[in-house]
């Protein structure tokens, strides 16, 4: 891909020096590493945005579901009954 744009940024001298030293230790140009970091960032952001849209769609799908929900009290009562049955079966139930 042809390089047609220049990107200028300000940063601390010690960060620049440390980055340049690390880039040199990998035998890769600093500009190549920055391009890779930028591509990875763009990809992560797109994936996060896609995932967020997927989650929102699933939530909306759930909210739009015409089937009746299960009341919280019923869920808790069923869970407590299951826990009690398991505890009784394992001999851990308090009397």
pTM for the complete prediction? 0.62
Mind listing the pLDDT tens digit for each residue in 8-23? 999 999 999 999 999 9
d(CA 78, CA 94): 19
Buried/exposed 74-83: b ≥16 CB within 10 Å, e otherwise: eeeeeeeeee
Tell me: the pLDDT tens digits for 31-82? 999 999 999 999 999 999 999 999 999 999 998 998 888 899 999 999 999 9
Exposed, middle or buried: residue 48 (CB in 10 Å: 0-12, 13-18, 19+)?
Answer: exposed
Q: In this structure, are residues 30 and 19 in contact, taking their beta carbons and an 8 Å threshold? A: yes
Give the pair of three-digit tokens for residue 28. Answer: 């890769």
């Amino acid at each position: 891909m042809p390089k047609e744009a220049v990107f200028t940024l300000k940063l601390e001298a010690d960060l620049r020096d440390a980055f340049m030293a690390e880039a040199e230790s990998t035998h890769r140009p600093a500009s190549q590493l920055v391009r890779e970091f930028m591509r990875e960032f763009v990809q992560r952001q797109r994936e996060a945005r896609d995932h967020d849209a997927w989650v929102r769609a699933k939530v909306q799908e759930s909210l739009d579901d015409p089937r009746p929900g299960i009341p919280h009290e019923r869920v808790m009562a069923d869970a407590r009954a299951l826990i009690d049955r398991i505890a009784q079966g394992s001999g851990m139930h308090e009397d």
